[in-house]
Amino acid sequence: MDHLDKRHFSVIDYTCFVIVLLFSAIIGFYHGAKSKKSPSSKEDYLLGGRSMSVVPVICSLVATSASGMTIVGLSAEAYAYGIHSWMLCVSILVGNFFFIQVFIPVLRELKVASSFEYLEMRFNRSVRIFASGIYTLAVLIQVPVTVYIPALVFQNVTGIHVYATVTALSILCASYTAIGGFRAVVWTDVFQLTLMALSCCIIATVGVITVGGIENVWNAAERGGRLNWINLTNVSSRTTIWTYFNGAIIAIYQFGLNQANVQRYLSLSTMKEVKAASWIVTVLFGAFICLSQLMGAIMYTSYETCDPLRRGFITAMDQILPYFVRDKASFLTGFNGIFIAGIFAAGLSTTSSFLNALAGSIYEDFLSYRLVSISESTAKNIMRAIVLILGVIQVPMVFAIEKMGMLFQIQMQVMSVATCTLFGFFTVGILCPKINGKGAKAGACAGGIVIAILIVGGMSNKTEPPLPLRTDGCGSQFNSTELTSANVLNNSQDTESEDVFWLFKIPFVYYSLIGLVINLLTSYIVSLLTGGNTVEDQSLLAPFLRDKTIKTNEELELQQKKLLFIEKS
């Protein structure tokens, strides 16, 4: 990147960047100060008193889901592997339909504070603690990725080291999240989502103008094989139709049953608001996916004949978007600052949401039953302390993430483990009345172990090489031996992969589907061998599975109220 080293952040760039961080912090501190002036409960700190407005919750849900991974990771994925990820929009639509019809009605009716509270009601406390522990580990791995992405981008355009940025970002995010609680997280998300959308739209607009129009983008993508849709012939490809079935499974968990999103849905007043919010979020997040695919195609058009990675201007594919901004859009005064601010906004929104949700989960699932006599104020202070501790823990975690390769793949692997275990728990609980606690835990263990084996074994299988990347347009300064070395590397990867055991050649996009199937089968078999199960409280099951002859707890309470009213009258 030597030819870009002289393009530093301007005063305006730094001003835009600092304003974003300060404004996010001010919102958090404002809500923290507001909560001190008026008495607020633990429920208000975690769920906004279950009376949040629809619009900010929608913005928060989109901002939490559309992290820096969506902007940086998926655009790099589109540049290297084609625009196939737009099909994830279909997966998300399917996943959202099942979430609305099957899962959220049960959780809302039970009025749980933590989604894992349902598992104790359906099975037992040990299942709840086991599931919450898995969620905690998954978040501790996912959050560093969301922090690392903006820090990496910031380093590429300013030279400030990733570790310094990660430390500062973690302290800032943990501070305003701890002080302001759920309301602070939601309202900062509104601001940060606006900035994210603005940044992406500016990048796409400038990019289309730079390459000469959308027609040129389409033609270049077609020439480079980037217009790849569903692959029906090669099951080892990441574009096979099974990839999108897998995406639907992940969508149900990631956009629905994930504790951070469950918090937001439970903060709304009515089921009508929940359904409306869920569909709007699905559409808006789909728009972000499509926008990231467009940005990837634009970058490929711009570097069709001179790939920056092959040329040595960048060292990893995840750096392609910040490189593009510096290379093609630095003539716009302040744009670098807006872009970096947008990426930071994406990282802050996701990180703060996860920190708030995880703090609530740790308190509710591990501490609340031991601290039954403490006041509401003390409970909030404990959760604030947990947020700060989590913010400190994520700093060293970033150091390990940095060495692990493509960020999109890391994210998908972590989500695969979480999905096959946590989604498996809720699926067998809500949809399979015969499954008992022993079966549920056995299924989660079996699915998780299989996924872990696939991940570890898959490390010996080389990463799928990207689609052809050209360097013939780089000019006379390009060293032809670099291209030769790159080709030799790709060929050696193919040769080495032939020696890998067939099981470990399975693409990472299949992991969730495989893990879930093993989870369900094991849960059912173990439950049969240990006496099966009968669900007495019908409100623990999906509405369409309930025995109409048995009333739910909510129906019994309503019936008792009617009888009392009749007696009084």
For residue 80, give the H/E element and its range: helix 74-81
By three-state DSSP, how is residue 223 classified?
A: helix
The percentage of residues in the chain with a pLDDT greater than 70, rounded to a whole number, is 83
How far is CA 57 from each of CA 142, 187, 447, rounded to the nearest angstrom? 22, 8, 33
Residue 260 has pLDDT above 90, yes or no: no
Cα torsion 99, 103, 109, 110 to 10°: value is -140
Q: Which two tokens stand for residue 317?
A: 């594919």
pTM, full prediction: 0.83
Give the pLDDT score at 170. 87
Q: Which pLDDT tens digit goes with each residue over 152-174?
A: 778 877 778 888 888 888 888 88
Residue partners of 194: CB distance under 8 A and separation at least 6: 59
What's the CA angle centered on 316, arms 64 and 225, to 5 degrees?
Answer: 85
Count the neighbouring beta carbons within 10 Å of the beta carbon of residue 564: 10
Give the pLDDT score at 294. 94
Integer Cα distance of 20 and 183 in angstroms: 18
CA 156 to chain centre: 24
Q: b/e map of 399-410 (b: 16 or more CB within 10 Å)? A: eebbeeebbbbb
Residue 301 has pLDDT above 60, yes or no: yes
Residue partners of 81: CB distance under 8 A and separation at least 6: 228, 238, 239, 464, 466, 467
Residue 489 has pLDDT above 50, yes or no: no
Integer Cα distance of 289 and 281 in angstroms: 12
Domain ranges for the chain, please list them.
Answer: 15-24+55-467+503-535, 539-568
Amino acid identity, residue 269? S
Q: Which pLDDT tens digit goes with each residue over 375-429?
A: 888 888 899 999 999 988 888 877 776 666 555 566 666 666 777 788 889 999 9
Give the pLDDT score at 418. 76
Residue 459 has pLDDT above 50, yes or no: yes
Q: Which two tokens stand for residue 399?
A: 């150091």
Per-residue H/E/C for 142-153:
HHHHHHHHHHHH
What's the CA angle centered on 473, arms 472 and 478, to 5 degrees?
Answer: 70
> Cβ distance 51 to 258 under 8 Å?
no
Q: Which pLDDT tens digit goes with each residue over 500-549?
A: 777 777 777 777 788 888 999 999 999 999 998 988 888 999 988 887 65
Give the pLDDT score at 37. 64
pLDDT level of residue 21 (50, 70, 90 thresholds)? confident
Integer Cα distance of 520 and 432 in angstroms: 9
Give the pLDDT score at 204. 92
Q: b/e map of 242-258 (b: 16 or more CB within 10 Å)? A: ebbebbbbbbbbbbbbb
Average pLDDT of span 106-134: 90
Integer Cα distance of 18 and 338 in angstroms: 10
Q: Is the model more confident about 444 or about 1?
A: 444
Q: Which two tokens stand for residue 216?
A: 């040129």
Count the neighbouring beta carbons within 10 Å of the beta carbon of residue 221: 23
Residue 538 per-residue DSSP state: G
Residue partners of 484: CB distance under 8 A and separation at least 6: none
- Tell the CATH topology of 15-24+55-467+503-535: Sodium/glucose cotransporter (1.20.1730)
Residue 486 has pLDDT above 70, yes or no: no
What's the CA angle centered on 436, arms 432 and 442, to 5 degrees?
Answer: 100
- Bridge partners (DSSP) of residue 209 are none
- Among residues 349, 360, 354, the alpha carbon closest in space to that of 391 is found at 354
Integer Cα distance of 288 and 311 in angstroms: 29
Integer Cα distance of 72 and 502 in angstroms: 32
Residue 240 per-residue DSSP state: B
Integer Cα distance of 25 and 438 in angstroms: 45
CA 184 to chain centre: 20
pLDDT level of residue 277 (50, 70, 90 thresholds)? very high
Integer Cα distance of 103 and 431 in angstroms: 9
Give the pLDDT score at 166. 87
Integer Cα distance of 439 and 276 in angstroms: 35
Integer Cα distance of 139 and 123 in angstroms: 24
Residue 480 has pLDDT above 50, yes or no: no
Residue 491 has pLDDT above 50, yes or no: no
For residue 381, give the H/E element and its range: helix 376-401
Q: Which pLDDT tens digit goes with each residue over 184-195?
A: 889 888 888 888
Q: Is the model more confident about 382 or about 44?
A: 382
Question: What is the phi/psi pair of residue 29, to 5°?
Answer: -65, -35
Integer Cα distance of 117 and 124 in angstroms: 10
Average pLDDT of span 264-270: 89
Q: Which two tokens stand for residue 501?
A: 């055991």
- Among residues 122, 118, 98, 121, the alpha carbon closest in space to that of 108 is found at 118
Cα torsion 335, 339, 345, 346 to 10°: value is 160
- Bridge partners (DSSP) of residue 73 are none
Calculate Rg over the CA atoms of the chain.
25
Burial category of 319 from C-beta neighbours within 10 Å (exposed 0-12, middle 13-18, buried 19 and up): buried
- Among residues 363, 322, 366, 407, the alpha carbon closest in space to that of 143 is found at 407
What average pLDDT does the chain have? 81
